[in-house]
């Protein structure tokens, strides 16, 4: 039997974080979690991390696509928060964001983490941005490092 699995330490990985400004008070906590996970757990050096900001979650796929197209990065972490309101707007923004990011990963063969909260309330967002339900930014960061390592092994 051969088992391939990736560690979450990737000191040489070049990582781009694409982050929405909308709901920035939540997103900045996701960013703190992601940076802590990349640096303290993943041992990724500061020089290998690029942060790219965009207006909202709806714009994340296009920014991720341009980022992937440069071929300068091993992984992309998308961070944002889509919070349900009283209209169907949530479905459109969250749906396009999710679909678009998945498309970028497959089109460019690059791990793209979905660190975008899709929640019913601000309370649920706060819970997932560094309080009682953990930090989804940190989880997203560790998932791409694992993916970088596992894909490199599958390829070798």
56 binds ligand INI (CB under 6 A): yes
| Residues labelled catalytic | 89
Neighbours of 46 (CB within 10 A): 8
Contact between 43 and ligand INI per CB under 6 A: no
**CB of 23: closest distance to ligand INI in angstroms?**
5
* 93 lies in the site for ligand INI, by CB under 6 A: yes
Q: How far apart are the C-alpha atoms of 96 and 118, rounded to whole Å?
A: 12
Answer for the pair 54, 19: CB distance below 8 angstroms, yes or no: yes
Tokens linked to 143: 């998932």
- Residue (19 or 44) nearer to ligand INI, CB: 19
Q: Which two tokens stand for residue 96?
A: 């396009």
Cα distance between residue 86 and residue 74, in whole Å: 38
Is residue 114 a contact point for ligand INI (CB under 6 A)? no
- Residue 120: φ, ψ to 5°: -85, -20
Binding site for ligand INI (CB under 6 A): 20, 22-23, 55-59, 80-83, 85, 89-90, 93
Q: Which segments are annotated as binding site for 5-amino-6-(D-ribitylamino)uracil?
A: 22, 57-59, 81-83, 114
């Amino acid at each position: 039997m051969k088992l391939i699995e990736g560690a979450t330490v990737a000191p040489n990985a070049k990582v781009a974080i694409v982050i929405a400004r909308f709901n920035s008070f939540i997103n900045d906590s996701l960013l703190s979690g992601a940076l802590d996970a990349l640096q303290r757990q993943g041992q990724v050096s500061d020089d290998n991390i690029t942060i790219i900001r965009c207006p909202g979650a709806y714009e994340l796929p296009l920014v991720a696509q341009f980022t992937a197209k440069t071929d300068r990065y091993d992984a992309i972490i998308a961070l944002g928060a889509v919070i349900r309101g009283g209209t169907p707007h949530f479905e459109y923004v969250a749906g396009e964001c999710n679909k678009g990011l998945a498309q970028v990963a497959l089109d460019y063969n690059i791990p793209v983490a979905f660190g975008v909260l899709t929640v019913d309330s601000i309370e649920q967002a706060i819970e997932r941005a560094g309080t009682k339900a953990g930090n989804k930014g940190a989880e997203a960061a560790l998932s791409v490092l694992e993916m970088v390592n596992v894909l490199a092994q599958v390829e070798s």
